[in-house]
Structures are given as C-alpha cells and as structure tokens.
Amino acid sequence: MGPDADDDSALGLGPDSDLLLPGFLGHLANERQVSPHTLSNYRRDLERIARWRIEQGIQAWSDLRDEAIRRYVAARHRTGIGGRTLARELSALRTFFDYLLRERLVSHNPARGLRAPKSARRLPSSLDADTLSALLDSDKQVDSDADAAGLGTVAADSEIENEPLALRDTAMIELFYSSGLRLAELISVDVRDIDPADAMLTVVGKGSKTRRVPIGRAALQAIAGWLAVRPLLAAADEPALFVSSRGKRIHPRTVQARLKRWGQQRSAGRHLHPHLLRHSFASHLLESSGDLRAVQELLGHADIATTQVYTHLDFQHLAQVYDQAHPRARKRR
C-alpha cells in the first residue's frame, strides 16, 4: 500500500512534479500492461527512493543526480540489502526516468549506467525426476481448499465437494511441470487456450507476449479429468480453466497454498511451489536434450542468459558423459 494523499510531498508529488509517479504507474499498467506483481514492485521501489530523496533535501526528481543515487545504493547495501534487490530498484528508477524523458519532464537519466553491487548467484531449486514422478503418481487425495485472496481457508463439506478440488489440483501441478509455466501464466489460462488435438497450449507470458507450448500426455489426462467435473464449480460463462471453490478464476495465493498442502500430504520433504515445478521442468528438459535455445523458447525467456543458469545444475551428469565419451578421459580396463 502506498502512502496517503497527505504524504504526497514525501513522494515528490508536489506542484513541480505534476503527479509523476501516478502518471508513470498508469503508463506501466495501461501502455506496457505489466503484471500486477511487477506494478507493485515498481510502486514500492520508487516510493522508497522518493522518501529517501526528500530526506536528503532533494525536492524534485529533476534535481536527482547520479552521485546521489550512488549514495542511496551504498546506504542500502550497508544495511544488508543484496545486489539483486538493488539491481531491481535501479532498473525501476531507470525506467521511470526514461518515461520522464519521453514526457520531456527531465533533461537526463541519472540512473543510466549505474550498476548494483554483485551478489552471489543462486541456482534455481529443483526436484530430481524420480522424486517428482513419484509425487505425481501418488494417489493420495487432498481434503481441503485454501481459498481466494487471503480470505481464509475454506474446507470442503463432503467428499463429493472435495473430489473436483483434488482433480483440479492434480491438473494444475501436472500442467506446471509439463509445460514449465509461471504462476501468473497458469492462472491466466482459459479453457479455449488448450488444443487437445495438437496437445498444445497458448500462453500469455511477461510483457503480454504469447507463446505456444506442448502439453504432456499425463497433463492432458489430468486436465480432461478436471474438465469433466469443472461444471460443478464454474458457471457456464466462466472462461478460466482453473477456478476456486467459489467458481471464479483461481487466485495466486490459492494455488500456492494448494501446492504446499499437496506436497505435505504426499510427504514431499520440501516446500512444493510453482517455481520449483518450473525449475524442475527446465533442468530435466535441458539435462535430457542439451538444447538451450529450445528450453529458452519453452520458458518464454526474452534473454538466453536467463536460461543459461540451468546449464550449471548438472555438472555431475556432464562429467559422467565426458568420462564415458572422451577417448582421453575413459578409464582403462
């Protein structure tokens, strides 16, 4: 949540700025159509920088200089804020000033060229293929529904009510792993986006970019099972593939809660969440195929550098291949 209207001066929203932040956030939402999560990050980061700016006696955005931004980054870093967070804040500031330049409200971008301190690169977490297959093949049923928008947990009243939810959860989990979807992508899937004949799914990813991804046999079967009972929950005119117990498009927190509980019911031994399934999809596919470009397309990564992190996940596998294949590495028998 942003500050109240009385705090506008602390955000640089005085007469000289002409409501710059709200204008920029409107630009992100309406013109660039960023996700609500991304919009929230921009708002939070820029409001933090704006408050710091005022504390430093810099009254207008147009008065902000690169040396002041360096002081901000250094101060944040000294408090233990990592490089990834600072890089995101600098990116938000650069994008904001690019917008102000476009609107001819400033004459330069003071964040241009500034870089955040480097932090240790964390490898994505994933489950090994055998463990994940055992979880997906489990026939245990889940017995309650953690439902929408942080409004609390809604328990099923009977086995009849619970069965559609269990089938829905299985279909969601299979689709996450089968197609490597992001959480927002899975939630946005409509029934019409699935082409069972070609086993393909149309996905709207980051930046409203559309891609088509294959759906595996197990996921198609799970989706068919869910579609058979979906009318028990969803209204006839509801387009969303996955709905909550209230019959509306499922909420991100519901998906996260259901995956967590699903894993607990099956003794997964670790927190099951959407990105874990996406990372497992990517690492297993890359390990089997070695085709980095294909994995990039399937994940919807704009930059292959983002996908390359998965090349670091399987050094042991690569070493074994080398030992077995290279003539100067093979052990003498």
In angstroms, rounded to a whole number, what is the distance separating the alpha carbons of residues 81 and 84? 8
Q: Which residue among 275, 312, 317, 330 is the active-site one?
A: 275
Mark residue 104 as left, alpha or beta (left: phi above 0; alpha: psi -120 to 50; beta: remaining). Answer: left
Residue (of 186, 176, 160, 199) closest to 251 by Cα position: 186
* CA–CA–CA angle 206, 211, 213 (5° rounding): 120
Q: Is 275 a catalytic residue?
A: yes
Tokens linked to 33: 């159509």
Q: Is 27 a catalytic residue?
A: no
Q: DSSP labels for 133-186?
A: HHHHT------EEE-GGGS-EEE-SSHHHHHHHHHHHHHHHHHHHHHT--HHHH
Q: Is 182 a catalytic residue?
A: yes
Q: Which residue among 206, 246, 248, 260 is the active-site one?
A: 206
Q: Which residue among 88, 211, 266, 301 is the active-site one?
A: 301
Percentages of the chain per state (helix, strand, coil), in multiples of 5: 60, 5, 35
Q: Which residue among 43, 249, 278, 284 is the active-site one?
A: 278
Q: Which residue among 53, 182, 249, 284 is the active-site one?
A: 182
Tokens linked to 195: 């082409």
Which residues are catalytically annotated?
Answer: 182, 206, 275, 278, 301, 310
